[in-house]
Structure 1
């Protein structure tokens, strides 16, 4: 399982659409002065349109790189994939990470129930909860899978 880092902020808003993402700012917090108007250049977290715009950008990235099949394993910015063989999981992680990188997305916070897979991941890319107890898995940790759905993954060892 992995997560796209700051997904919405990675998707740029075209110049002609930035007026839809205007906001007012009071310099130095002084509300007695007239506010200044700013426009966002990237999609903000929390805007109703941001998830669909970010998903469209991810679809474009997958299509451009001829890896449309990876989209079935994403829920907004979370990637969840199952494999029964560690070497296959390691290779899949590298391919998906590379495809996302080509689209300007950084896939990180990796979690696996395989020591071999975890050992193949650079330490800075492993989920913080996974880093805390990566050797023992005692007691088994839970990791949120697809946060919006409420699904939790109970991590246990066992992948060959």
Structure 2
């Protein structure tokens, strides 16, 4: 998630690190994108998602609400009344994030119809390669909940 957000040029000095160049010399580098482990990264990602959602809240109200209220950094949990609403929510949340070059993926559902509405490549690893017609859907944990 964090690598989706670019660090402003003046702020890159705060994300310096040392590495070796191809010829083995020690070289000073600066991150151009936010990285996992930086204290600022979760706040930047949250702000970025809120900003994106705000830009498209008139077009996709429920998806924007999901991005601002039901995601914690890069994990989200929500519940809707119908399978159609779930598919619509996923489709529109992906649409919003795609406009900002962010890939929203690793989706799961307790409903097979919803899973069929999600491309296999965008499903959770745990359900990517199972036959959802013949096998029982496995339980999955997110944000400490099963």
Query: How do 1:111-130 and structure 2 match up within 5 A?
Result: 111-130=108-127
Q: Which runs of 4+ in 1 moved over 4 A?
A: none
Tell whether 2:105 aligns with 1:108: yes
Q: CA deviation at 1:91?
A: 0.8
Normalised by the length of structure 2, the TM-score is 0.86
CA distance in 2, matches of 1:82, 1:62: 19
Identify the range of structure 1 (59-68 vs 40-49) with the bigger mean alpha-carbon deviation.
59-68
Q: Which residue in the other structure is 1:26 paired with?
A: 20
Instruction: Give the length in aligned residue pairs.
Output: 139
Deviations along 1:108-136, one digit per CA (max 9) or x if unpaired, are: 11101111111111111111201243334
Of the three residues 55, 75, 78, the one matched with 1:78 is 75
Please give the TM-score of this superposition, normalised by the length of structure 1.
0.79
Counterpart-to-counterpart distance in 2, 1:132 and 1:122: 12
Quote the RMSD (CA, aligned, Å): 1.8
State whether residues 121 and 128 of structure 2, in contact with CA within 8 Å, keep that contact through their aligned partners in structure 1: no
- The equivalent position to 1:47 in structure 2, one of 26, 35, 38, is 38
1:57 aligns with 2:48: yes
C-alpha contact (below 8 Å) 2:97/2:104 kept by paired residues = yes
Write 1 or 2 for the structure with the bigger share of strand: 1
**Post-superposition shift, 1:49?**
1.1
Long gaps (5+) in structure 1: 1-6, 154-160
CA displacement 1:7-40 (0-9 Å, x = unmatched): 100000011110100100123595xx5x200111
Partner secondary structure for residue 140 of structure 2:
strand
List runs of 5+ in structure 2 lacking aligned partners: none
